[in-house]
Structure 1
Amino acid sequence: MKKSIPLITTIGIACVGGFVLAQKEANKPTSLVAAKTDTQRATGKARPWAQSDSDISVDEKVVYGTLENGMRYIICKNPLPPKRVSMRLHVDAGSLNEAENQRGVAHFLEHMVFNGTKHFPDATKLIPQMQRLGIAFGAHANAYTSFDETVYMLDLPNIDKSTLNLGFAVMGDFADGALLENSEINEERGVISSEKTSRDSVGLRMFEKQFSALLPNSIIPKRLPIGTDEVIAKAPRERFVDFYTRFYTPEKMTFVYVGDLDVATAEQRIQDTFGSIKNPKKPGPKANLGDISSQQGFNISVFTDKELSSTEISLIHTQPHSYKTDSKTKRIESLKFNIAHAIINRRFSRLAKEEGAVITSGSASRSVFMRDLVLGSFDVTALNNDWKAALAVLENEFRRAQLYGFTQSEYKEVVAEFINAYEQSVETAPTRKSDSIASNLTEHAHTDAVYSTPETDLVILKENLKSLSPTQVHDAFKAFWNTPDLHLILSTQAAEADSKEQLKEIYKFQTGIALEAPIDKKVSAFAYTDFGKAGTAGPTTHIKDLDIHQWTYPNGVKVNFKQTNFDKNSISMVASFGTGKAGMPMTTIGLDTLAGAIFSAGGLGKHSSDELRTILAGRNVGVGFNIGDDSFSLSGSTTPKDLDLQLQLLTAYLTDPSFRPEAERQFKAMLPKIYAQLKHTEQGPLGKMSAWFVNNDPRFVFPSEEQAKALSSSQVKAWISPQLTHNSLEISIVGDTSIDTVQAALSKTLAALPTRNTSNDIPIENRTLTIAKTPTEKTFTYQSEIEKAIAIVLWKADDATDRNLKKVRRAGLLADILDERMRVELREKLGEAYSPFARASLSQTFKNKGSIMAYSPGKPANTEKVGKIIVELANTLAKEGATQDELDRCLKPKFGLLEKSLRQNSYWLGTVMDRSQAYPDKIEAARSRDADYASITLEEINTLAKKFCLKENSARISISPSK
């Protein structure tokens, strides 16, 4: 029996979208409801669970069941975050299931299930209703459609009765309640068309070309989820109804429910919501992909596009995938390929860093694509588009791996990384969050993999490794790659007419060159363990209400520490120092760009970055470098076991960064790709717009290619080195460790360094910017044949006041209200935009830099029109003000996010603790944050709107392809 799809006139809205209890016996049911479905399983009507015939035990906390109609469900009780649940509805169908005249309907339906349903026929009320319950689109509700699945996601911010009722009603309607009324479909066509425009790219176009060459007789390259213009513009209602009734069926759906819940109550709720859905008499069949067998022999293809940012060469092998039950044997086979390709990736990484390198990067992989196709790929990116030299590297490394396999040291390094990753999964398992578990369970259901515990995964890994050796990894590698059925693909900006012949000749010539076996290298010890006499912590201040400890060492190093249990076995840290971008020399444009690229990549005086990776394999340490507005920072994450090593590494980067020439070489090797992207995509004009808005202050200007080429490591060293050793240093640490442990580790590292300054004063003239005059209009262009443009409006939102965190919050809410008005007007009413948004950005360092930005991607022909609409929307907001309902609907989801942040290490580290001794107002801001948000009044918002959002304060900007 088909679903009833009534014709009811409604006003449409669109969604935000995009493109395991162990069973002792194989036939033992995992729930009371499941006990009724054995016959269906036997007849194949209900899709069986992966664990039904596997030798791998599922996670016993997870409950599996199947309703009498064949719909599957998964329930997992999980306490974190408390009083929250996550829902996923998986539909085992995507664009591959479409008929030729339905290309794009699967994705279009993802939007349409929000445009009028059985419980929400007046779709204009659904999003506001969600917002009033604290459910924010994007943050709490989302969806995506791919080639072979469609997934709907709800992360509910509370478990109040009204919120749960809405969540189940919405999910139930997605599965069996879409009205698909003609007027709603027609109103949504513009939104889908806008999304297609916004997602168009040279990369997507090359994907179509390459897969058309690889699989000429398959529908895969003809079924991109976004669809065709013809279907988007003209597909009649019947095609939507056909797909919905034949593929949104119980036997093709799985509901995942995770969080702070009662399992028995959850099972009954699932039965009540989905149990009455009927399967059609003629359900949609399994997708027929066509012929996906590998083409015989050695094939060559050349694809050109002047907008490509780099030249890539790929060697590809494809073959149909034969499904095998997830098992220990299957996992060891996958492990062999993962190890082999990880080793090859390391080889390519080293080659790209060598002096005289002809590639900028390389990789190898083998994966199952869309459950039916095995795709293996060797890829290199050519330096300076010299594909002939790069081809030699590709062939040589491909053949070297086949001839000689892998050394013991290479194998040991990669295996150490694998073991460590699995061990960390075990350690962090007790604090896994419900949204992450829900998504993982959905992925396992989709790929027919057993959802086993991290402990089980680790045991299986170690058991498999006992019987594994580099020789066996080599044998598996050869078995897959030693085939004459290979496809060599060149993708470049321009090619000679005889490029295919040249590719064939060069490749054949290289196969005759003798190759040396890889050398088994010894691993040296980490050289940075002694930094001098240990320091002793000064008096500790305990901020009791926030449970933050602060102290200072005699050498001037300041420390902020908070012990948490939010993420088991995890510690995060950031050490801030110096003056950052505010202190950058005005005479050297792009110095920050080079510094950010080479600092960590340059390694240390006694170890290159490549040597560090080998030395530290299997350890949870690393250092990232960042340039902020008013400071530099070194950051990293670690575990209690590796805390000492992490602080030793961080201290080594403070005291002995090497600025090696290999890092500068790599940066400059990437310049052609970077500037090709800037020339042919929106990123180039967006960067120019940002610089223009601050009157082209040199610190905010991205360098020209000539300027970038002229930069040197010595300039970076001259700028940063004095600040590494002398400027004020404040480190913040948060996570699963104790204050005594942290003080002991710091005493031997940062506290042992020479005395530093205790403050970093940045002159007011360095912090004051001149902003573009308004009102104004400005156009920026880029070179592209892709008809993709952006309408942007900027409003100056800073009046040269000092740090004002309360104003930051209120400006953010003002932008949220404008964001909501843009969604309603541009997306829902006019269908002119897929993802318009507004954001506030107020600097805490630079005076006058603050702004509110409205951003709406779309088609070039509509940019001026959309920009004017946005200006008028904001101007009306400034003159007439917002409503209390608008403020409440923006505030309610905010409160849920605020509550969630209190259990996130990232919030405490980045928002509260980092530089909190330099800026004590951050502590007070954290203390009063929730109360301050609750105190925000409509009058405050409207006062800001009147000050910032008037037409005369706006800069209307158009970014589009040049004519």
Structure 2
Amino acid sequence: MKIKYLFAWGFILVGLCSANAQVLPLDPDVRTGKLPNGFTYYIRQNNEPKNRVVLYLANKVGSILETDEQQGLAHFMEHMSFNGTKNFPKNELVNYLQKTGVRFGADLNAYTGFDETVYQLPLPSDDPQVLRNGIQILRDWAAEATLETSEIDQERGVIIEEKRLGKGANQRIQEQILPVLLNNSRYAKRLPIGTDEVLLNFKPEAIRNYYRDWYRPNLQALIVVGDINVDEMEKVIRDKFSDLKNPADEKPRENYEVPLTGKNQFLVATDKEMTSTVAQLIIKHKAPELKTENDYRNLLIRSLFNQMLGNRYMELSRQANPPYVQGSAKIETLMGGLDSFSILVVAKPNELENGFKAVLREMCRVQQSGFSETELDRAKQGYLSSMEAAVKERDKTPSDAYVQEYLQHFLLETGAPGIDKEFELVSKIIPEITNEDINRICAEYISNINRDIIITAPEKDKSSLPDESTVLNWVNSVEKENFAAFKDDVSNLPLLASTPVPGKVVGKDVNSKLGITTLKLSNGAKVVLKKTDFRNNEILFKAYSEGGTSLYGDNDYETAHSAAGLIASGGLGNYNVTQLSKYLSGKQLSVAPFIGERTQGFYGSSSPKDLEMAFQLLYGYFTEPRKDAELVKGLLANAKNGLANREDDPSQVFNDTVSAVLNNYNIRRTGPSIEKVNQIDLDRALQIYKERFSNASNMIFTFVGSIDEAQIIPLLEKYIASLPSTGKVETARDLGIEIPKGKISKTVFKGKEQKSTVYLVYSGPFDYSHQNTLNMNALNESLQIRLNERLREEESGVYTPKIQIGVTKYPKSSFNLVISFGCAPENVDRLIVAAVEEIEKLRKLGPGQENVDKFKAEDSRMREMGLKTNGFWSGYLNEQMLSKEPLDQVFNYDAAMSKVTVRSIQELAAKYLTGENYIKLVLMPEK
């Protein structure tokens, strides 16, 4: 488990500490304090989103503090906090919050790490009673969990099932690796999930002792960020938390670390279900602090180093015959007070030496000759651009981002200076950083002590894997090589080979109620603009027209399906993809073509400043695509290498079976294979790509965000109205791929772990309408709540059942409802019976009124927040136009929701969940 130090704006905070450097100040916009009992609080007013507040209770306690008899109880305690507190007995806490629109798991959640346990609670802040109760919940979590014996015993099964979900090849490999990686420290023996023996057999007093010992105010902090009054919130916190008491016989909170031994270690770990051979070289170091401006400077140097080194490996992967499936190297945080410089290679089958040496060579090239000035300038430009973009959004920064910053300040004592101070430091420091600074970091982190070499591989390849002396010989031979300096492949040509001939806007319609403007262009293209103020520096766009891969036969499907990605990988206009990525360095934009089953088009985003560049890319992908045969050869080779051992992974085999059965074994829906990759032809891909993007007259473009109409219309005329058009109208073809009718049951026997996966699928035709869709959503949530209660709480048989309902209008109106869960093999039949019983209850009686009310509260809150995001409006407008539904449907929400009742859901369930079309798919361990 890794913990990264993050500021609100996404930069990894790691660096070297200098005791004499100026200490980073705490963000002046957060109010912090400490009560006499040691309880810490952070409070910040923030209106993004409005009428919402995010509350976190952080505890500096985790699995590292467990005794041998308590292994797993820190995480168990986290679960028990939701299973009964003084003021919210048993499951009333979750029940109450769901009624306020807070979703369990998605909103209300918690996590347990080695050194911390953190609870999160987002709430509406415009309801004083809900906010008061929310503070009471946090107070109860801090000191008032009831820990009833019956609830503890009931939760054992849930925890065991959560643990079961993580079992498999990766978990078994991890058990072999961690003692080496963590130098046999306490961290290697205190995984938060714990041991089966303890979880099934511990006495209730053991977890009560853990709670009494460690959940105490001098190890706790409350973080509150949102649309609240800071003075009032501070008074509430002081009133509610001042009476918390530390235990009289307080145990010292020891800070554990992973010791550095000065030794080098080597390990080979294999497993029958591993699908690839991976080699890692990890050089461990004591993690630096982040408290001073000098620490921050070193953070920036490390970030630039990682960025430039990552770009080197990216270029290496674009060869016609790349030396590995995946390769990388970077400085990163480890755990237990350590960070590391680590290199990783996912090798081609039987080519570990070649791949490992290739990754080492690039590391040694940097050691010998460093980075070029152009590489450094681009990295600096990109970092500055990202920070400038963050500053422009400072008043739209979501509360969650601030919470994470203050959380790390409390847990790890990292600096949290705030965006303005950060921008000041970045603006000052970045221009001063030189390649000498980068070389210093490189020399410090790439050393020959505290180095682990770890190889993981399929068990069947065990006999061919190298021993330690062989790998050390590889390392020594590469280190003795002389490397030519890296050649930076850049271009100074114009991006586009030809200049667009502008068209015109020939029609305009304004819908003031929706706040959209629809433009008709001279080439027939249609543009929908929606200006918003949700973000200061964001424009989202999408373009689509009908057709897609549906217009091509099965013999062309693999090529058509891959065409957009393969052609985009060649670059556009005068630039190959490597030159293009460098040309775009520092730009806040993204543009990508796509060819789906029923549509083709583009999606992307841009800042207003870079909007013209985004238009140029869109125009270039449409009219000046390139093919790079050498690069594609490498991509396809790696795709085949990645599939070599796919049949050894139980989850992949089962997922392929699920897809095949649910799509009637149509060749377009069966799993990937080397044979399918061999069908892909680059020349045919380019031909299909050009066919799909030869006609803009049938294409609709949507732009949502911080749009300036005076700026965007000339760009539309120059780059969109100039696109070629034929006037031809195409429609997607119905491929006849449907979930098969009738009752089907199939069991896959794969895997050595005692774990199973279950899929139960109901499907059939559907009377598509806005009202029916909303009722289906209500049915989904009502069933989700009930199956959580039945399968998790009552049966103690699963961790989290999942219910997904899909409805489609085209090519045929249909629905599917999928219930899925993992469980013990011996419980499969019992839990399937329980799930089907709940379906039958829903059909005959409908959901409980309480569950319908919970759905309405949750959906209303989600919709209220969604309406204030560009992502919602971009998705909504495109979805409505694709499904040929009215754009003003969004205003009918309240009227439609008022018609969602227990009866309407029951009638829907009775009509569609008959069981006539019912598929049962089960993964069981090998016999």
Same fold (TM over 0.5): yes
Aligned-partner SS, 2:555: coil
Residue 268 (structure 2) pairs with residue 292 (structure 1): no
Matches within 5 A, 1:221-232: 221-232=188-199
Q: Which residue of structure 1 lines up, in the alignment, with residue 157 of structure 2?
A: 190
Query: How far apart in 2 are the matches of 1:961 and 1:925?
Result: 48
Cα deviation for residue 531 of structure 1 reads: 4.1
In structure 2, distance between residues paired with 1:833 and 1:482: 47
Conserved in 2, the CA contact under 8 Å of 1:871 and 1:954? Answer: no
Matched residue, 1:710:
679
**Which residue of 1 is the match for residue 8 of structure 2?**
none
Task: Specify the code of the residue in structure 2 equivalent to 1:364.
Answer: A
**1:478: how far off?**
0.5
Bigger mean CA offset, 134-143 vs 830-839: 134-143
Q: Which residue of 2 aligns with 1:304?
A: 270
**Are positions 1:694 and 2:659 aligned together?**
no
Unaligned runs of 5+ in 1: 1-17, 20-49
How far apart, CA to CA, are the structure 2 residues paired with 1:626 and 1:219?
49
Residue matched to 2:476: 508
Report 1:870-889 matches (<5 A): 870-889=835-854
Instruction: Return the alpha-carbon distance in structure 2 between the equivalents of residues 162 and 908 of structure 1.
Output: 32
Number of aligned positions between the proteins: 907
Deviation string 1:652-688 (CA, Å, 9 cap, x unpaired) is 1111222323135224303333464564042432233
User: Does structure 1 retain, via aligned residues, the 8 Å contact 2:282–2:340?
Assistant: yes
Instruction: Give distance in 2, aligned partners of 1:306 and 1:845.
Output: 43
Output aligned runs, 1:641-656, within 5 Å: 641-656=609-624
Q: Pick from 722, 727, 730: which aligns with 2:700? A: 730
Match of 2:807 in 1: 842
Q: Which residue among 97, 101, 123 is the counterpart of 1:130?
A: 97
Q: Which residue of 1 aligns with 2:547?
A: 579
Paired residue for 2:282, among 303, 316, 320? 316
- 1:487 paired residue number: 452
Q: Is the 8 A contact 2:747 2:923 kept in 1?
A: yes
2:113 to 120, 129, 146: 146
1:519 maps to which of 471, 487, 494: 487
* Alpha-carbon offset, residue 589 of structure 1: 4.9
Task: Tell me which residue corresponds to 1:470.
Answer: 435
1:94 match = 62
Aligned counterpart for 2:501 among listed residues 522, 528, 533: 533
2:796 is aligned, of 831, 834, 837, to: 831
- Deviation, 1:420, is 1.2
| Map of 2:51 onto structure 1 | 83
Match of 1:66 among 22, 34, 48: 34
- Contact 1:85 1:159 (C-alpha < 8 Å) held by counterparts: no
SS of 2:605's partner is: strand
Relative distance call for 1:930 and 1:741 in structure 2 (3 A) is farther
Deviations 1:551-596 (A, max 9, x none): 1101011111111111111111111134234434333454465346
Partner of 2:653: 684
Residue of structure 2 in register with 1:794 after alignment:
761
Q: Give TM-score scaled by structure 1 length.
A: 0.90
**Per-residue CA shift, 1:447-467, capped at 9, x if unaligned?**
322222323212211222233
CA offsets, 1:663-716, max 9 Å, x none?
A: 352243033334645640424322331332231233333333222233222333
Residues 960, 930 of structure 1: alpha-carbon distance in 2 compared, 3 angstrom cutoff: farther
1:409–1:521 CA contact under 8 A, matched in 2? no
Contact 1:784 1:962 in 2 (8 A): yes
2:55 partner letter: M
Q: Which residue of 2 aligns with 1:208?
A: 175
Cα distance change of structure 1 residues 676 and 441 upon mapping to structure 2, 3 Å threshold: farther
Cα shift at 1:498: 5.2
The one-letter code sitting in structure 1 at the alignment partner of 2:622 is L
Q: Is the partner of 2:874 in helix, strand or coil?
A: helix
Identity of aligned residues (%): 25
TM-aligned CA distance change 1:915 to 1:213, over 3 Å: closer
State the alpha-carbon separation in 1 of the partners of residues 678 and 239 from structure 2: 66
The alignment status of 1:439 with 2:408, answered yes or no, reads no
Q: Identify which range, 890-899 or 301-310, moves more after superposition.
A: 301-310
Q: Secondary structure at the match of 1:732?
A: strand
Partner residue in 1 for 2:10: none
Relative distance call for 1:683 and 1:956 in structure 2 (3 A) is same
| Amino acid paired to 1:943 | E
Checking the alignment, whether the CA contact within 8 Å between 2:61 and 2:117 is kept in structure 1 is yes
Q: How does 1:399-414 map to 2 (within 5 A)?
A: 399-414=364-379
Distance 1:141 1:870 in 2: 24
Q: Is the 8 A contact 2:505 2:717 kept in 1?
A: yes
Amino acid aligned to 2:177: Q
Match of 2:14 in 1: none
- How high is the TM-score relative to the length of structure 2? 0.93
1:918: how far off? 5.6
| CA deviation string 1:393-421 (max 9, x = no partner) | 12212222111111111111211211111
Question: Residue 460 of structure 1: which of 422, 425, 429 is its match?
Answer: 425
- Cα distance, 1:927 vs structure 2: 2.8
Aligned letter for 2:233?
Answer: A
State the 1:51 CA deviation.
Answer: 14
Residue 388 of structure 2 corresponds to which residue in structure 1? 423
Residue pairs, 1:239-258, within 5 angstroms = 239-258=206-225
Equivalent residues of 2:154, 2:796 under 8 A apart: yes
- For the 8 Å contact 1:59–1:451, the answer to whether it is kept is yes
Inter-CA distance 355–830: structure 2 relative to 1 (3 Å threshold) = same
What residue is the counterpart of 1:363 in the other structure? 328
Say if 1:676 and 1:841 are closer, same or farther in 2 by CA, change over 3 A: farther
Alignment deviations for residues 190-227 of structure 1 (CA, whole Å, 9 cap, x no partner):
00000001122423333332231133331222221111
Which 10-residue stretch deviates more, 592-601 or 626-635?
A: 592-601
Once the two structures are superposed, residues 291-321 of structure 1 have per-residue CA deviations (whole angstroms, 9 ceiling, x without a partner) of: 521442x432222223223222211111333
1:19-63: CA deviation from partner (whole Å, max 9, x where unpaired): 9xxxxxxxxxxxxxxxxxxxxxxxxxxxxxx99995333332211
Alpha-carbon separation, structure 2, partners of 1:468 and 1:210: 37
Q: Distance in 2 between matches of 1:604 and 1:360?
A: 25
Structure 1 residues 191, 677: closer, same or farther in 2, change over 3 A? farther
1:927 paired to 2:891: yes
Contact between 1:364 and 1:377, CA under 8 Å: does it hold in 2? yes
Letter in 1 for 2:656: G
Contact 1:768-1:848 at 8 Å conserved across structures? no
Identify which of 358, 365, 368 aligns with 1:393.
358
Closer, same or farther in 2 for the Cα pair 1:521/1:371, shift >3 Å?
Answer: same
Residues in 1 aligned to 2:117 and 2:886: alpha-carbon distance in whole angstroms? 43
Q: Identify if the C-alpha distance between structure 1 residues 595 and 870 changes in structure 2 by more than 3 Å, giving closer, same or farther.
A: farther
- Give 1:287 deviation, angstroms: 4.3
Over residues 616-672 of structure 1, what are the superposed CA-to-partner deviations in whole Å (9 max), with x where a residue is unaligned? 100112223444442123111110100000111112111122232313522430333
Deviations 1:139-164 (A, max 9, x none): 32111111221111111134312211
CA contact (8 A) 2:258 2:336 kept: no
Runs of 4 or more above 6 Å deviation: 50-53
Q: C-alpha separation between the residues in 1 aligned to 2:875 and 2:130?
A: 31
Equivalent position of 1:938 in the other structure: 902
User: How far is 1:946 from its partner?
Assistant: 0.3
CA contact (8 A) 2:290 2:296 kept: no
Opposite residue 705 of structure 1, the aligned amino acid is I
- CA apart distance, 1:792: 1.4
Q: Residue 462 of structure 2 aligns to a residue in which SS? A: coil
Instruction: Extract unaligned runs of 5+ from structure 2.
Output: 5-17
Structure 2 CA distance for partners of 1:111 and 1:144, relative to 1, 3 Å: same
Larger CA deviation: 438-447 vs 72-81: 438-447
Distance in 1 of aligned mates of 2:560 and 2:274: 26
After superposition, the Cα gap between the structure-2 partners of 1:135 and 1:263, relative to the gap in structure 1 and judged at 3 Å, is same
